[in-house]
Copies of this chain bind each other. A is one copy, B any other.
Amino acid sequence: MAKTTASLPQGTRDFTADTLRKRNFILATIRTVFELYGYEPLETPALEQLDTLMGKYGEEGDKLIFKILNNGLHDPANVDKARAAFEQVIAGKNDKDLTSRALRYDLTIPFARYVAMNIGQLTLPFRRYQMQPVWRADRPQKGRYREFYQCDADVVGSYSLVNEVELVFIYSTVFNRLGIPATIKINNRKILAALAIACGAEDQLTPITMAIDKLDKIGPEKVSLELSQRGLQPGQIEFILKYLGISGSPAAMINEAEAMLGESETGRKGIEEIRFILDYVQAAGWAENAPAGKTAASLAIDFTLARGLNYYTGTIFEVKADGVRIGSIGGGGRYDDLTGTFGVPGIPGVGISFGVDRIFDVMEELQLFPDSLGAGPAVLFFNGGEAESRAAFRLMQALRSNGIAAELYHEAAKADKQFKYAEKKQIRYMISLSGRDLPPGHCFIKNLATGKQENIPVTSLVGYPY
């Protein structure tokens, strides 16, 4: 076989039928639930203005944005400006005379851009979902790609905590439908802010949040060390560790947090919000939401949840797959100002995201994909030569019209070649219109899994239980 000269860019993948059917099963499940909750689809272009993206993802993020080279740089009218722009770029800056557009890096900023541009036409609260690939020039490694799907739902223009309750139900419904045992963890940024206030380090909120965010990975001792290096005193660190150690029933946890942090207005607000959500979720039928006879997703307070450095201001979420060693499979939270950076301030919202690649891996590990997803067409008609192939084609069209996927082998090859093709494509039945002792108007139908063969009238083919 000749060897190709072609290759794929590092960190990108071709998706073949087997993988796509599984990924689309996940996406279709999520989409169905989003639609049941009144969320509307949105798709934004792969290309955004460079200005729209730059400066939104931190210094590290900026470096990972794929920029598009402007077209027509060799046009004499552009060359001088392009050369000056190029010098800016190799000095580590951006310049629109060399690249004025870039590839979508996430779905949140394009959504914010969309809301800012269309705020006058939107019916608020506006619920949208978006499932599209994003691109990042990250160093590729196992499980990390330069092109991958994101899958977000956000509602903007509402401060109501009922939105948080709905998002918790969306998470649990999706994971219950997929069969993934999952824990939805919830915390509130106001509680973290109150922690900084209560230990007298209000100005240290960001380093405290960043240190707490690493607890899972580095453990409490290294968190203490980091806090100490940041200049926090032993008493303050002890207070923070006490907070991080809060455990027990949800009610007990909330009470203990309230005792520690309830003196500040911010603390009271955070506690009140998390209590509201938990009460409401129970009142709204959390227990009944579990699928019959299956493990249901659970909801848990996690005061150690911090969700890194970002724009969240209230409730924060994170979802873990129970019993699977993999990072979070979902996350999100409430923000106060989605579109301020685009000149339209005062649009609050709350959103969640599904980690499609990790959900895929979890479902593979737990063998949760339905067997039927991998299958090829139901039927292959044997090609026994010119006249027989025409008769087979006609019958095949009747099957297809009735929703049964079918193929006719493309030429009158030897039988073993045709059977081998059927096997490789995971086709379940082989139908032949000729053969020894076949009564007129009949065909052979062979179940390729069991090897069982029978002859039936061709008029029974459409109604056959494939």
Distance in angstroms between the alpha carbons of A431 and B36 in the assembled complex: 16
Task: Point out residues on A near B: beta carbons under 8 Å.
Answer: 1-9, 12-17, 20-21, 24, 35-38, 40-49, 52, 63-64, 66-69, 71-74, 79, 82-83, 86, 89-92, 98-101, 103, 113-114, 116-120, 123, 125, 127, 133, 135, 137, 146-147, 155, 158, 160, 162-163, 165, 169, 173, 280, 283-285, 288-289, 339, 342-345, 376-377, 389-390, 393-394, 397-398, 400-401, 403-408, 410-411, 421, 424-425
CA distance A165 to B40 in the complex (A): 40
Whether B160 lies near A410 (C-beta < 8 A) is yes
B46 adjacent to A135 (CB under 8 Å): yes
Interface centre among A36, A37, A67, A160 (most CB of B within 10 A): A36
18 A-B pairs with CB atoms under 8 Å apart are A1-B344, A6-B342, A9-B49, A12-B45, A14-B45, A20-B43, A24-B41, A36-B400, A36-B403, A46-B46, A46-B133, A67-B69, A69-B99, A73-B89, A73-B90, A74-B92, A160-B410, A165-B393
Out of B83, B147, B400, B410, name the residue touching A46 (CB < 8 Å).
B147
In chain B, what residue has the closest Cβ to A393? B284
A74 touching B90, Cβ below 8 Å? yes
Residue in B closest to A281 when the chains form the complex, CB atoms: B393
Known: A6-B116, A14-B114, A67-B69. A397 touches B285 (CB 8 A): yes
The answer to whether A14 and B43 touch across the interface, beta carbons within 8 angstroms, is yes
| B-chain residues with CB within 8 Å of residue A35 when the two chains form the complex | 377, 405
Q: Please, how many angstroms separate the alpha-carbon atoms of A48 and B6 in the complex? A: 10
A133, closest chain B residue (CB) = B46
* Contact present for B90 and A82 (CB under 8 Å): yes
Which single member of B6, B9, B135 contacts A343 (CB below 8 Å)? Answer: B6
Q: Tell which of B48, B63, B163, B283 touches A71, judged by Cβ atoms closer than 8 Å.
A: B63
Sample of 20 more A-B contacts, CB < 8 Å, known A6-B52, A9-B45, A15-B42:
A1-B120, A2-B345, A4-B116, A4-B339, A4-B344, A5-B116, A9-B49, A9-B100, A20-B43, A38-B376, A38-B425, A47-B147, A68-B69, A68-B103, A74-B89, A127-B407, A162-B411, A165-B393, A169-B397, A280-B390
Please report the C-alpha to C-alpha distance between residue A68 and residue B389 in the assembled complex, in whole angstroms.
49
Contact partners of A125 in chain B: CB under 8 A: 410
A147 contacts which chain B residues (CB < 8 A)? Answer: 45-47
Q: Which of A37, A68, A158 has the most CB of B within 10 A?
A: A68
Is B162 a contact of A344 with CB atoms below 8 Å?
A: no
B36 touches A14 (CB 8 A): no
A7 touches B49 (CB 8 A): yes
Contact B17 A162, beta carbon cutoff 8 Å:
no
The answer for the CA separation of A343 and B35 in the assembled complex, in Å, is 47
Q: Give A112's nearest chain B residue, CB to CB.
A: B6
A40 with B17, Cβ < 8 A, contacts A5-B343, A99-B69, A284-B393 known: yes
